[in-house]
Structure 1
Amino acid sequence: MSGKVTDTTAKGQIQFIQSHQTPLDAGEYQIEIEQTVKIDNIDETFASNLTFVVQGNRFEFKPEEIHAVFPPAGSFGDHSHVLPYIALKSSTLPWERLAQSGNQNAPWLALIVIHEEEKLLITTQKETILETTFSDSQNQELTREQKEQLWQHLLSGSVGWIELIDNEAIIVDKSERKSENLGGKFAEIEEQVEAILARSGNPKIINLKKLQQPTTGTIKWPGVTLETGQQEDDQVSVIDVSKKLLSEILPTTKDLEYLAHVRQVTGDTENSEPLSLVISNRLPKKEGISTAYLVSLENRYNDNDEFNDQNATDDDYIRLVVLKSWSFSCTEPEQNFTGLLKNINKDTLKLPTENSSEADQYLKKGYLPFPHYLRQGGKTVSWYHSPLIPGENPTNLSLSQLSVRSADQLIAYNKNTGLFDISYAAAWQLGQLLALQDKQFAIRLFNWKRTNAQKLAQNNQQALFPHLFPEQDSNSTDNDFPEDIKTRFQQLGLLSGIPFNYLVPDERMLPTESIRFFWLDWLWVESLLDGAFSIGRVQDSDLQQDSNNNPLTGEVKQITGFLMRSEVVSGWPDLQIDGSESSINGDLPMVEDQKLKILRRDRISEDVLICLFDGEIKTVDISLKPEGLHFGFNNDDANNLWRELRKLDGTEMSEWKVTAIPRKDQSMKVVNIENLVGEIKNELKNKNEIDDPAPFYLGSICLADGSRSRES
């Protein structure tokens, strides 16, 4: 790694690293070993060779390899002054291959942004038509011969719905077709054909076999040699971009060096793993939709630092392999980090009341009515509440007092309403099912309980008849509760692995853009744990054994927390969350010794976050962590862009700025990254902040979208 800028000794500081290059590039290598041995003055040579392969990502990324994207997929916030980026969990990924052979500083990945009016080439294939089932008005399926005729009909000059090109067919835009309708019998299946063509969006999925050979027609592709482990029928995502558009938005090799880096947070044990980031050189479209494509540029640049377009004309298309894509809009200024949190809907986790005195007393406590099928075949409606309740549920019941034979023992009956409360019974049954689902856990727990029972029986016998056990220690405790089993119970106690519908039984309890606070019902948790601990509990003696010798007993815990469902969770996964036991007004800072310990903080889905605190939470601060910072520019109401710079110690100085952001083309919103770096260098040099030529990259334009939101 190289190119450090920040002070790595400072706690919680973000460290920017120019690149993290791998010792070996992906590919096949050979090791040749030769040894000469002298025997009786005669030299004898022994030789051997070994072939090994260094494999790396090339044509696809798995979802778990991507840490975050910005702007968030599907978002509406006005990010038109911010450069999109993608954060990858592997710190070496952008440099595992090269865009230019021999140039170790030019990463093989680039993030290009396409605006909605810039249409990519959409094509289909004859096989798609031939393999599709079409039915006419008489529900008669078209034969293969008729599908062949359909293909020719779509290609005909009088219809012109598709146009043959490079063994593929361009899908002609409706406004440019020769005929609005299909003719003859094919008019009956017009809607079916339109539906098939509409599925041919971007990126396109093709077999890797199609990329092996170079193409020199309208679609330009240089060809590729498959590596060990890659098969011809592997599927690959590609887009075809017009040469004219690509030449305007594609970064140069020098730009590529600045558009990828590594971030690592020092002093943060929870997030110590470095992330690699790939940044776009193009700003999103204001008041419109943009799509970001992470593309492979492996060996696409020649020795003259020029992109190898195979002598394409402006009307030709360049094929690129796509590893990730997402779309977003820049239409609503309040949909940024600060705006989303300021306008988030706040409440406790419950449904609104129904103006019914009977029902409302349950709804206010977080209950919901559910169909309940009784063992005798009857059907009724029963009340259920999750472990996340709107208020405190005081209980002194410990697990040792809770041991039961079956879930039915925890069903409560209200004689006034004639309805059951199945909350704790459901928790107990769920705990048992989760334990049985994990076969290794269930066997380990059962074996421990059996061994423990045998040991206790032996100790009892020894106490009654000590003369029969003269050499054994009656206080021996060599059957401690296994740590892995204890850990699993601790995880269950924090609701880890609990199906989401048990936590939020109705979607209306947690609508979009909402935060819901709750208390953890410890009796529900104890019921869950006892259900899991009931493995092997068959006879009354087993029940008594579990009651008397339960290693999980302890005091009732006071745990509170919140669930948040918002674009903030999906768009900014690196959130700093602090909770206080005091109610704090305004922007006063939290007192360190009043901060509550966070017991659990997890994203349980793309846009849902759960956070549990040890104690009663009264104030929550939500802010961005350093690794959540992104790159952008200052802007005003007239959308003028400039950039205030920071000193190397992180302080921002309003009088230090680049007032004119260099663009390759003003209308295309493409930033000239190399020139921007030069402008920043000159400004910092004029302020005596850096020596020229100092190592430099775009850390100087790191920009946070909002700082902190407080909820009470």
Structure 2
Amino acid sequence: MTTQPTEQSAPADDTPVAFYDHLLPGIAAGRYRITVGQQLPAEQLPGARLDPVEQIVDVRAAQFRLDPSWVHAVYPAAHSQGPFHGLLPHITLDPAALPWEREPFTGSVPNPARAPWLALLLFGEGELPGDPNALGTTVPLTVRALLDGDAAVSGPALDRDAVDPALLDTPCRVVDVPRDLLAQLLPEPSDLALLAHVRTGGPEGAGGSEGADAAPADDQGGRLSRDAHAVITTARFPDAAQGRYVAHLVSLEGHTPPGPEADGRPVRLVSLHSWTFTSCPESGGGFGPLARRFAPGHGEHSAAPLRPSPAAGAGLPDELGTLLEQGMVPMTHITESGERALAWYSGPFLPRVAPELPRPADGHFPDADGLLLHEPHTGTFATGYACAWNTGRALALADPGFATTLVRLRHRGRLRRATERQYVTYSQQLFHSAPSAGPAPRAAARTTVPTPRERFEELLRGDALGALAASFAHPDDAGPDPRPVPTAPATYCLNTPQRSSAPQPPSSDARETAAWLARLRTLSGVPFDCLVPDRRMLPPESLRLFHVDRGWLDALLDGARSLDRHPGADTATDAELDQLLNAQGSVPTAGLLLRSALVPGWPTLRFEARAASGAVQVEVIRREVLGGDVLLMLFDRMPDRLTIGEPHQGLHFGVDDRGDVALRSLAPGEVGRPLGRSVPVGTDPALTVTTASGARVLDVGRLAARLAEDVKSGSPLSPAEFAVQLVRAPEQLTLSFEGTTR
């Protein structure tokens, strides 16, 4: 079945999210025997009966290891710290059918509810003998050693013949769990199905639509969109007190459900993925507390323009304070003579719109000296543009592929123009040596034999010049001839084809060079110190907005293009690169820098930037994580509204701050709408079991029955419906910059 939350419970951008019970593969993993026979109706005919043909087919699926790329997200994030005591940790997997590709437990345990063969178990400190500190320690084994078994533990009972022989010597990781602890944490086999479901929705998908083209089909004949993910949730809550936990995604294949009749040996489970986190209720490390710091009134954490902040009580003169407000940073400047002096540096990110940088006559700065600007208030130099030029040249020299391509492009352009000038010279000589009389009689023209010089001149007027130039450069490298070339009267009969004037496509070297420069224009590869010259401009847990200085970008590109450049000889090549660059997409004009624990904790953090009071969507030109906790985003315009939200696939499950489950409607067309009622889970001992060690474990079966009484009149809840009831919608923060000075 499918459920679609309404706007009240949908993600922040109202993109629908669909829930499915499961996605069953067309055929389960295992070994199959295919028998093919043929029999004709007339058995008396020769060859009417043929012996059957048998073929053994192995349908393989993940069993002992998972590709790390299959893990789309985990919550809480690995190594994170925050108030997680009201949430059920979960893992999101990209292969949506993965949890149902195998059978849980042994063949003697029925599975009518289609329970997954994977389970997510949560362990605290001191619970696992092999990992007392909950650091995620596992035991490495080969698949062969796992199948051979160990008398001290109860391992999986798997058919060795059904395992691919190539996997027997590959490594896997196992964890030994005390049997009584496993019996407390693992739900009943019939309840395991409620802890796994398939979810679609998000910006990459088709808006959560069930009718997306080329999508995999579910078992009810519906269609799942391309962004389907499998979600597996644990049944255990982290404790209210501070503590570290480790979550293990384990395989249940080949095991038997823990029961009182089993022996006391630990159970050896294959751990397919694990991560650790710390639950600390007072840490304020969740998404909400972290994001709310960027709101106004939180000092240096608030979203503000990117500028250096002078120390309190510094008492700077007004002219120095003005320079700091404009984003300029005082730096030490060493002159060519070796003297040390004070200079002001400004990177490409400014808290203001930079004035237009005057350009030379040919449009490109030949060196960095012309970009050293005088700062009149302090009598020093402003070195930002000069540093940009030198940085671009250094990056170009550091890339041998780009340097070779650019130099080859310039050389071919010069050869092309030299050939053009030679053609003009020969044409002029032919015009001056032409006879003054009219054309010769037709009969005489047929008998005239051209001299070798005349033959060569005739070839130059034909296509030979174009063919020669094409082998070195493009026919349109040069501009038009400086003056028209007169045509000399012909004195002999030769077919004289005209040169083609059709525009030629740019060469591969020109396209490659323009693409490299376009990447550099988005500041790709530029050292972070050039972007943020003072680390105090971007303190921890801060968000900074900025304008991008177009003059700084132009100086950066001029430095990269300066390799082997001759202003007079390379005018046409520069014009061609300018034209190609203009077609390479938008130029960044604004952006933001985010330095926060949100960056590593929520890798798919959602940003929505809008301008014109939210009416215009701002284009994101570049988004990249720089270092461990810094996110850079470049826009085509300055936004006046910014929304930061938890990722769609980071949708959480659990109870609210009071320990209640808020009921949601399951009626068609109103799925997910809050009903205004809730079920107390934290205070009902029948719904939450507290183990001897203090672990709070959800009684999945009883809770599902209790919720069904209120939302379905007693009819059993499906996994998708159960997930809708436990949903805690992603949080978001919207910042408005309307009317502010940036």
Query: TM-score, normalised to structure 2's length?
Result: 0.69
Structure 1 residues 608 and 558 mapped into 2: Cα distance closer, same or farther (>3 Å)? closer
Q: 2:296 aligned with 1:291, yes or no?
A: no
d(CA) in 1 for partners of 2:555, 2:736: 31
Q: 2:151 aligned with 1:216, yes or no?
A: yes
Report how far residue 257 of structure 1 moved. 1.5
Q: 2:128 aligned with 1:120, yes or no?
A: yes
Structure 1 residues 602 and 438 mapped into 2: Cα distance closer, same or farther (>3 Å)? same
Tell me the equivalent position of 1:88. 93
Tell me the equivalent position of 1:19. 22
Contact 2:514–2:581 (8 Å) recurs in 1 = no
Q: 2:660 aligned with 1:641, yes or no?
A: yes
d(CA) in 2 for partners of 1:26, 1:377: 73
Report how far residue 464 of structure 1 moved. 4.7
Tell me the equivalent position of 2:118. 109
d(CA) in 2 for partners of 1:35, 1:438: 65
Contact 2:31–2:58 (8 Å) recurs in 1 = yes
Q: 2:236 aligned with 1:282, yes or no?
A: yes
Q: 2:321 aligned with 1:388, yes or no?
A: no
SS of 2:154's equivalent in the other structure is strand
SS of 1:454's equivalent in the other structure is coil
SS of 1:113's equivalent in the other structure is strand
d(CA) in 1 for partners of 2:206, 2:89: 25
Tell me the equivalent position of 1:609. 631
Higher strand share: 1
Tell me the equivalent position of 1:65. 70
SS of 2:476's equivalent in the other structure is helix
Equivalent of residue 503 in structure 1, options 503, 506, 531: 531
Equivalent of residue 265 in structure 1, options 201, 214, 222: 201
Contact 2:135–2:276 (8 Å) recurs in 1 = no
Equivalent AA in structure 1 for residue 662 of structure 2: R
Provide Cα deviations, 1:202-241, integer angstroms capped at 9, x if missing partner.
4135242543421121x43337656355363x44433332
Structure 1 residue ranges without an equivalent (≥5): 124-172, 174-197, 583-590
SS of 1:293's equivalent in the other structure is strand
Contact 1:309–1:318 (8 Å) recurs in 2 = no
SS of 2:388's equivalent in the other structure is helix
Equivalent of residue 567 in structure 1, options 583, 597, 602: 597
Structure 1 residues 457 and 515 mapped into 2: Cα distance closer, same or farther (>3 Å)? closer
d(CA) in 2 for partners of 1:445, 1:55: 51
Equivalent AA in structure 2 for residue 352 of structure 1: S
Q: 2:445 aligned with 1:423, yes or no?
A: no
Provide Cα deviations, 1:140-187, integer angstroms capped at 9, x if missing partner.
xxxxxxxxxxxxxxxxxxxxxxxxxxxxxxxxx9xxxxxxxxxxxxxx
Equivalent AA in structure 2 for residue 287 of structure 1: A
d(CA) in 2 for partners of 1:693, 1:295: 22
Tell me the equivalent position of 1:324. 274
Structure 1 residues 701 and 507 mapped into 2: Cα distance closer, same or farther (>3 Å)? same
Provide Cα deviations, 1:491-525, integer angstroms capped at 9, x if missing partner.
44333455545434554433322111111122222
Structure 1 residues 309 and 367 mapped into 2: Cα distance closer, same or farther (>3 Å)? farther
Contact 1:368–1:383 (8 Å) recurs in 2 = yes
Q: 2:649 aligned with 1:627, yes or no?
A: yes
Structure 1 residues 57 and 211 mapped into 2: Cα distance closer, same or farther (>3 Å)? closer
Tell me the equivalent position of 1:579. 609
Instruction: Show the 5 A alignment for 1:122-271.
Output: 122=130, 202-208=136-142, 210-217=145-152, 219-222=153-156, 225=160, 227=164, 229-230=166-167, 232=169, 234-265=170-201
d(CA) in 2 for partners of 1:562, 1:342: 17
Q: 2:540 aligned with 1:512, yes or no?
A: yes
Report how far residue 80 of structure 1 moved. 0.9
d(CA) in 2 for partners of 1:614, 1:436: 31
Report how far residue 281 of structure 1 moved. 0.8
Q: 2:309 aligned with 1:352, yes or no?
A: yes
Contact 2:540–2:596 (8 Å) recurs in 1 = yes
Report how far residue 14 of structure 1 moved. 0.5
Tell me the equivalent position of 1:697. 722
Contact 2:106–2:157 (8 Å) recurs in 1 = no
Report how far residue 265 of structure 1 moved. 1.3
d(CA) in 1 for partners of 2:269, 2:231: 24
Equivalent AA in structure 2 for residue 252 of structure 1: E
Contact 1:351–1:363 (8 Å) recurs in 2 = yes
d(CA) in 2 for partners of 1:105, 1:441: 59
Structure 1 residues 457 and 352 mapped into 2: Cα distance closer, same or farther (>3 Å)? closer
Report how far residue 15 of structure 1 moved. 0.9
Contact 1:300–1:308 (8 Å) recurs in 2 = no
Equivalent of residue 573 in structure 2, options 541, 546, 553: 546
The percent of aligned pairs where both chains have the same amino acid is 22
Structure 1 residues 610 and 31 mapped into 2: Cα distance closer, same or farther (>3 Å)? farther
Equivalent AA in structure 1 for residue 310 of structure 2: T
d(CA) in 2 for partners of 1:6, 1:395: 51
SS of 2:237's equivalent in the other structure is coil
Tell me the equivalent position of 1:180. none
User: Looking at CA atoms only, which structure, 1 or 2, has the larger radius of gyration?
Assistant: 2
Tell me the equivalent position of 1:143. none
Tell me the equivalent position of 1:178. none
Equivalent AA in structure 2 for residue 4 of structure 1: T
Report how far residue 85 of structure 1 moved. 1.3
Equivalent AA in structure 2 for residue 348 of structure 1: P
d(CA) in 2 for partners of 1:52, 1:376: 76
Report how far residue 248 of structure 1 moved. 0.7
> Higher relative contact order by CA 8 Å / sep ≥ 6: 1 or 2?
2
SS of 1:110's equivalent in the other structure is strand
SS of 2:116's equivalent in the other structure is coil
d(CA) in 2 for partners of 1:260, 1:434: 51
Contact 1:263–1:274 (8 Å) recurs in 2 = yes
SS of 2:177's equivalent in the other structure is strand
d(CA) in 2 for partners of 1:26, 1:467: 81
d(CA) in 1 for partners of 2:232, 2:278: 17
Contact 1:69–1:571 (8 Å) recurs in 2 = no
